[in-house]
Amino acid sequence: MPIIVEKLTHTYMPGTENEHVAVDNVSLTINEGEFFGIIGHTGSGKSTFIQHLNGLVQPTSGKVTVDGFDMSDKKQRQKGRALVGMVFQYPDYQLFDSTVLDDVAFGPKNLGQSEEEAKKSAAEAMKTVGLDPELFGEKSPFELSGGEKRRAALAGIIAMKPKYLVLDEPMAGLDPSGRRDVVATIDALRRELGCTVIMVSHSMEDVARSAERIAVLNEGKLYALGTPDEIFSKTQELIDMGLDAPQTARLAEALRQKGCDVPESIYTNERFIEWFRGLKHV
C-alpha cells in the first residue's frame, strides 16, 4: 500500500499579514519500495511537505493517507505514524539523551521494547549505519562530528524498523566523503531492510544517482514529477529555478549550448564517461 497525498495545501499563519502558503495543492503517490526524491530550492516547501507524511503537521486542506490510514484522524494517525520514520533536517534537534546508545534506544523503548531489547536494537542499528556501538555507544551525542550525528539520528529511526524512511537533507553540511558514506548507508538500508526511502534535497546531484522518481517543488507547487531521465531533461529550467544541478548535467548543458549533441540522459559522471568513450573521432 502506498502513501497517497491528495490536493495537499499548508498555509502558515493563516489570516495574518504573515500568511504564507508553503505547500500549494500538491497531489502525488509514493509507492511501496521505491526511492522517491524531492528537490526544490530553499523555501520551496520540502520540509513542510514531508512533515505531513507522519502527521507532524496537519493540512490546511487536502489529505494524506499512509497505507490507508488517514493522517488527519487522531486514531488512524497513530497507526500511520508507526510506519513512517522521519530523520529531520537538523540532527541536533533529534539527539537529546546523555549517551548515543540511549538516544538510539529511545525509539524502540517507546515502541514497547524492554530496556535490554531496546539497547540491543540500538546497537544493531548503530552497526548498520557504521557507528561502532563499542566506540560510540557511551559518548555524548554532542561529542560527535556532523556526519556522525547524522548517522546517529538515522540509527535512532531505523532502530524502529520503519516501512517508510523519510530523510530531510541527509547530506547537508557533509564533506564529499561524508556524503558518500550517507549514500552508501541508505543504499545498504534499502537492500537489507527493503524500506521505501523518501529523500529531500536541494541538490540534484544527491538524488540523481539513487532516486527512481523525483518530485520537483517550486514555491510550494508540484512543478514536475517523473523519472530522473524525465526530470533532468529539464536541466536548464531547474538551474533557472535556483536548483543546484549536478555538475555533469551542467557540463552537458553547456556543451549542448555550444552545439554539441549530448543526449539529455547524461547527468551523472558514470553516464558521461560512458557516452564520451563511445564517441567516434571525427
Residues that bind ligand ATP (CB under 6 A): 12-13, 20, 22, 40, 42-48, 89, 202
- Kindly state the smallest distance separating residue 174's Cβ from ligand ATP, in Å: 15
- Kindly state the smallest distance separating residue 180's Cβ from ligand ATP, in Å: 22
Report how far residue 74's alpha carbon sits from residue 241's, in angstroms, rounded to the nearest whole number: 38
43 binds, among ligand ATP, Mg ion, none (CB under 5 to 8 A by kind): ligand ATP
Judged by beta carbon, residue 89 or residue 247, the one nearer Mg ion is 89
The number of residues that bind Mg ion (CB under 5 A) is 3
Judged by beta carbon, residue 245 or residue 266, the one nearer ligand ATP is 245
Long-range Cβ pairs for the range 63-72 (8 Å, 24+): 63/4, 63/5, 63/6, 63/7, 63/8, 64/3, 64/4, 64/5, 64/6, 64/8, 65/3, 65/4, 65/6, 66/3, 66/164, 67/1, 67/2, 67/3, 67/163, 68/1
- Kindly state the smallest distance separating residue 13's Cβ from ligand ATP, in Å: 6
Judged by beta carbon, residue 20 or residue 234, the one nearer ligand ATP is 20
Judged by beta carbon, residue 27 or residue 114, the one nearer ligand ATP is 27
137 binds, among ligand ATP, Mg ion, none (CB under 5 to 8 A by kind): none
The amino acid at 116: E
Q: Which of residues 39-58 bind Mg ion (CB under 5 A)?
A: 46-47
Cα–Cα distances (Å) from 274 to 12, 176, 206, 230, 249, in that order, read: 47, 23, 20, 19, 14
What element of type H or E holds 228? helix 228-232
Q: Is 248 in the site for Mg ion (CB under 5 A)?
A: no
List residues binding Mg ion (CB under 5 A). 46-47, 89
